[in-house]
Structures are given as C-alpha cells and as structure tokens.
Chains A and B, each alone.
Chain A
C-alpha cells in the first residue's frame, strides 16, 4: 500500500470560487464584469483513519463551504480530494451510493435535518434500505435499535416511534450523528454540530462524537467557531481566514503556542472560564473580515493585523513549517 492510500482523505489545493456578476457603469456605456468570490482558496491537508481535524475561524471565512466541498454538496473549481487514494470525483461518478458510504455529513441544526413527516424508525431504516443493508424491515430495525442503545439512547423503543418534533435538540442531534454513522463511513464532516444546543447537553454530544469516531475509525473534519470544544475533539487544528489556512498543526501546539497574529487574536478574544483566575490581555483587531473578492497580492490579514509591515502588502506569505508539523502563513512569528 502506498503512502497515499493510507490517508483516509487527502486534499490538495482545493479551490472554490463563486462568480458574481456586477454591473459597472463606465464612461463608454454599461459594462458587465464577472467578479469572483474566493470562498475557499487553496486548502491542502491530509487525515489518517480516525484522525480529527478541527477547523476554526470567524463567520464568512469559508469553513462551511470547505465542509460542503469535501462531501460534494458543492462542486470544486479546482484542486483534488482523494479518499484512500481514489479521487472523490471519480468515486462519486462511479456510484453515488458508494460515495455516500465513504463520506457523510452532520449538520448544525438538528431540527432541519429530518423530514418532519417520518418517525425516527422510518428515517433510520430508510438509510439502510437505500444501501441494501439487511434483508427485511425487522432486521434493519433491530440493527438501528442496537446502534441507538450503544450510543446511549436507552431504551431505543422510546425514541423509534416518535416524530422529530417530539424530541429535544440534544436527542435529535444524537440521532443525526447516528444516522450519519450507520454506514460506517471512512470520513465525516461535522459542521458546527453543537452550536445550536444547550450548554448542558453539548458535553454529551461532543463525547458521543469522539466515541463513535474512535469506534468506527472514522476521520472527521470538525468545523466550529468555538475554540474550546474544538480542543477537546481534534487531533489537529486549522485556523482559517478568508478561504485559506493561516495556521495548521497539532491541537495543543497551535492553541497554546499560536504563531499567527490572527490565531493569537482569536484565542485572546474568546471568553473562557480561565479568565477568572488570570486576566488575559485581549488583542484588539479592527473591524470585520473583508469580502474575499479583490484580495490583492499581499497577506489577506494585512488590513486588520496589529503587527503588519509594509512588506506584507506585496506578497502572500508562504506556509512554512516551524517545527513538528506546525505550519504558519506569517513570516514574522517570533
């Protein structure tokens, strides 16, 4: 087996541009010109089986677009995604069902995930039926029941014959995770799976997510704006800003020894219980992220950076390794 085949997922220079038509009135009449919104702009990473990558960043930085690209809910502009060495495009073309067995997604809002007209039993067994798993309805139902009880929804009978609106957000999110994991996918994307839930149930959902991924040896991309829960879930962390990774590396290394000015600002601004014991200094960054349309040649973070220099404006910094797989896109890290 080659090195490439060992990776559950390998993403190389993934790019997604949305085109936008903007009418610009020039002196010689109306001119229609295409603009490109660079939503995801050259993202590369690899994950082994069972590894978890946490993607953090502000809203509008392209986290969710990246998630959708990975499970082919969006078509990429260029770049490649490979699952165990097989290009995802090919896999998807060959058989959509086979692709869905490889890559699955968990969405943010569990109330929107399910069709309100079906019971939980129907929703879960339909997935198995589509993939021709199990011989009869009863057999499939028994399989679902077993999986539910393993995931802590005890007794399963209590939930199976209810409709989605009869369950709480936490219970629904568990079922949503369970349904995505029914097919034992190789890779899963969890897009803000806990941000809609109450604080008291978040912990349980995070634990369940970690458990199922370990049990099935599934690689996961965990998208969140909550740095602290990301720390619990992931092995690696990527910080995203305007469609690019600005920092990438092992979780503890990136979060406790951040190098990029954006990561530092992000961490210093997030409210934590620890701030009770020691007052941390809050790094101020100005304004909101700009829209990724005319990004210019320089560093994207230039306009908000607190340690910018003139040289940052002329060229986008390289993604350099500062040791132990910790990569940063900023030359002034010391």
Chain B
C-alpha cells in the first residue's frame, strides 16, 4: 500500500526577480516499509523536495504546487493544526546538522523529555524517563548520555540522539536529509546498519536523501535519481544500480571508483547543472548528455516504464539509437 504519493510537485523560488524552478513536476510513490534513496549532485533539488513534502519551505519566497497525499490527506493544503498533529507522530525528519539543534545549556535527557511531552501530555516524569532511556538504548547510546550536555558527546553520538528524537513517537515515515554524510566511515556504517534493523522492528518507511550512491546501495531497496529538479530514473536499487538506463545514472555510477576488481577508468560527468531560472522545454540533461539528439532539446521526455516498475525519463530509453 502506498503510504505517500507525490503528484506533479513543483517548487519555484522567487529570488531577486528570478523564478528558479528548483523542483519541477516530480511524481513519486512511496510504498509502506520501503526505504527509498534520493540521489543526485548538489543543487539538484533533493533537499527542496523533502522540505516541500514536510511543508517547511518559507512560504514567502517558495511556491509549491501539486499534491502530496499522505494517508489520504494532502500535506500541501492541510490546515496548520492538522499538520502539527502529523509532525513528529507520523512524519519525522533528521537533517544533516540536526545535532546543532540541541541546546548547549540543557542536558540531553531534559531536551528529549521536553519534546516528548509536547505530544504526549499527561504522562508521569518517571514513565517519560524510562521511555527516553529505551530510545537511547535503541540507537546504541549508553544510559549516562541522559545526564550529559551536548558538548560532552561526539558528533556521531549527537547525530544518534537526533535519530532517537525522530523515532520517539514511532513515526510512519522518516525522512533523512544527508543525516549520515558528515559522520566518519565507521560511525556511518554502524548507524546505517542500526537504522535498517530498527525499521524492520518498528515498521518504518524511510526516505533517504544523499549524494552517495554507495550509501543507497547498502541501505535502501528503492532509488530515485534526481537531476536539476526532475526525477530521471527510479526503481528498485537492484535494477537501477545494476542496469542503469538513463545516461545520467550511468555517468554517476561511472564516476564512482569500485573497491574490488580491476581499476577501471573512472570518469566524471563534464559540465555542471544548468541555470534553473531559464525555462527548459527539452530534456534537462541534454546539455551534458553525450547521446543527446535534436529531439532531446525540444521535447520533454515522458516516463518510460520498464519491467519491475523501473521508470526512466529519456528519449533514448528503448530507442534504437541507444543500444550500448
């Protein structure tokens, strides 16, 4: 069953007289218990997409159109009170620097109980404490963390606290926006592994935003490749990463060195993301694509559905011009 459906979502930023189309016409379905990874270069609109779904964008400068239905409610038009009820309880988010949100002058335990008691009123202090200790244990932190100040913890531990906070009400959908990017290899590996185990236990659906393909490969089952505000390719991780169809996905994968096997030639994608304030009618990737044809510059490619609900937005997918 689909837990969230995003239909034709577009986000336009109005900045200094320009209209920047940060996300344009994105449709995405997230099934229950999925772990979907959203990958792309910096500036491709991944974070904007997440912020639009959570309705955290500043309304004065960002204009979101489309529909985001979450359990039957459209998040974009929901009244603020109703939305407040969903946040934390159903929808939780962890940002890259979530740990910076911790107040330096209060103990971790106190900050956690404060947040908990906003939603869960009429619960005794002792009960809250035992619940918080349980949460800390869930993310593999020792009990003593409850009585420590943030400066006494390392970055990895603080990020774990942030993850514990997001899990406190057993949310249905958890959004991680580069939540492990700033961490060390060992810490990142451990947190990812813990996340996957927790999800299976609690039945959480996860949306993970990252620029690191290998993180997606090791912790997600679905992936959506985003470029310049559009989703170019989506499907199961084992389909998309093993048999990429879109030239952009291929390029991204080619630029990542591999650990085993021969040292094949790694190659970057030449060029950079186009100016999104200029309207583009054709394929957004055409400028950097080595297989671009005339039609790519004029016509916007439609989603092409391959077996396994593997969707690709490319004129060349399935076409004779693109056999290799």
Residues of A whose CB lies within 8 Å of any CB of B are 58-59, 168, 170, 198-207, 225-229, 231-232, 255-256, 265-266, 268-277, 282, 284-285, 288
Given contacts A270-B185, A270-B189, A288-B156, contact A202 B218 (CB under 8 A): no
Q: How far does the alpha carbon of A84 sit from the alpha carbon of B185 in the complex, in Å? A: 35
Contact A228 B258 (CB under 8 A): yes
Contact A59 B253 (CB under 8 A): no
Contacts of B252 in A (CB 8 A): 199-200
| Interface-centre pick from B189, B192, B265 (highest chain A CB count, 10 A) | B189
Contacts of B189 in A (CB 8 A): 268-271, 282
Smallest Cβ-Cβ distance to B184: which chain A residue: A58
Q: How far does the alpha carbon of A325 sit from the alpha carbon of B265 in the complex, in Å? A: 27
Contact B241 A269 (CB under 8 A): no
Contact A275 B214 (CB under 8 A): yes
Closest chain B CB from A280 CB (angstroms): 9
Render B272-307 as a binary contact track against A, CB cut-off 8 A, 1 for contact: 100000000000000000000000000000000000
- Does any Cβ of A come within 8 Å of B42's Cβ? yes
Given contacts A58-B184, A274-B260, contact A282 B266 (CB under 8 A): no
Given contacts A201-B268, A271-B192, contact A225 B241 (CB under 8 A): no
Contact A271 B266 (CB under 8 A): no
- Does any Cβ of A come within 8 Å of B238's Cβ? yes
Contact partner, A203, options B41, B212, B256, Cβ 8 Å? B256
Given contacts A204-B268, A274-B258, contact A284 B184 (CB under 8 A): no
Contacts of A266 in B (CB 8 A): 185-186
- Does any Cβ of A come within 8 Å of B269's Cβ? yes
Contacts of A198 in B (CB 8 A): 41-42, 211
Closest chain A CB from B145 CB (angstroms): 12
Please report which residues of chain B, range 162-204, place their CB below 8 angstroms from some CB of chain A when the two chains form the complex.
184-190, 192-193
Contact partner, A199, options B256, B263, B267, Cβ 8 Å? B256
Closest chain B CB from A130 CB (angstroms): 32
Contacts of A204 in B (CB 8 A): 255, 267-268
Closest chain A CB from B189 CB (angstroms): 3
Given contacts A271-B215, A276-B237, contact A58 B186 (CB under 8 A): yes
Given contacts A198-B41, A200-B41, A276-B237, contact A288 B154 (CB under 8 A): yes
Q: How far does the alpha carbon of A207 sit from the alpha carbon of B211 in the complex, in Å? A: 20
Contact partner, B188, options A228, A265, A269, A274, Cβ 8 Å? A269
Contacts of B104 in A (CB 8 A): none
Closest chain B CB from A108 CB (angstroms): 14
- Binding site secondary structure of chain A: helix
Given contacts A271-B188, A272-B218, contact A207 B266 (CB under 8 A): yes
30 contacts between A and B (CB under 8 A): A199-B252, A199-B255, A200-B251, A200-B252, A201-B255, A201-B268, A203-B254, A203-B257, A203-B266, A203-B268, A206-B257, A207-B266, A228-B214, A229-B257, A231-B257, A231-B259, A232-B263, A255-B259, A256-B260, A270-B189, A270-B214, A271-B188, A271-B189, A271-B217, A272-B258, A273-B214, A275-B218, A276-B241, A282-B190, A288-B154
Contacts of A205 in B (CB 8 A): 268
Closest chain B CB from A145 CB (angstroms): 21
Contact A271 B211 (CB under 8 A): no
Contact B257 A265 (CB under 8 A): no
Closest chain B CB from A86 CB (angstroms): 34
Please report which residues of chain B, range 186-243, place their CB below 8 angstroms from some CB of chain A when the two chains form the complex.
186-190, 192-193, 211-215, 217-219, 237-238, 241-242
Q: How far does the alpha carbon of A203 sit from the alpha carbon of B185 in the complex, in Å? A: 20
Given contacts A58-B184, A269-B188, A269-B190, contact A203 B214 (CB under 8 A): no
Given contacts A231-B257, A232-B263, contact A272 B193 (CB under 8 A): no
Contacts of A276 in B (CB 8 A): 217-218, 237-238, 241-242
Contact A232 B266 (CB under 8 A): yes
Smallest Cβ-Cβ distance to B213: which chain A residue: A273
Contacts of A58 in B (CB 8 A): 184-186
Contact A200 B255 (CB under 8 A): yes
Contacts of A288 in B (CB 8 A): 154, 156-157, 187
Q: How far does the alpha carbon of A268 sit from the alpha carbon of B193 in the complex, in Å? A: 12
Q: How far does the alpha carbon of A304 sit from the alpha carbon of B176 in the complex, in Å? A: 28
Contacts of B237 in A (CB 8 A): 276
4 nearest interchain CB pairs?
A269-B189, A204-B268, A203-B255, A271-B214
Q: How far does the alpha carbon of A282 sit from the alpha carbon of B218 in the complex, in Å? A: 11
| Interface-centre pick from A231, A265, A272 (highest chain B CB count, 10 A) | A272
Smallest Cβ-Cβ distance to B254: which chain A residue: A203
Closest chain A CB from B208 CB (angstroms): 12
Q: How far does the alpha carbon of A266 sit from the alpha carbon of B187 in the complex, in Å? A: 10
Smallest Cβ-Cβ distance to A270: which chain B residue: B185
| Interface-centre pick from A198, A225, A270, A288 (highest chain B CB count, 10 A) | A198
Smallest Cβ-Cβ distance to A226: which chain B residue: B185
Smallest Cβ-Cβ distance to B219: which chain A residue: A271
Q: Identify 15 new A-B residue pairs, CB closer than 8 A, beyond the known A231-B263, A271-B215.
A: A58-B184, A199-B255, A203-B267, A204-B267, A205-B268, A227-B259, A228-B256, A232-B257, A269-B185, A273-B253, A274-B259, A275-B217, A276-B237, A288-B154, A288-B156
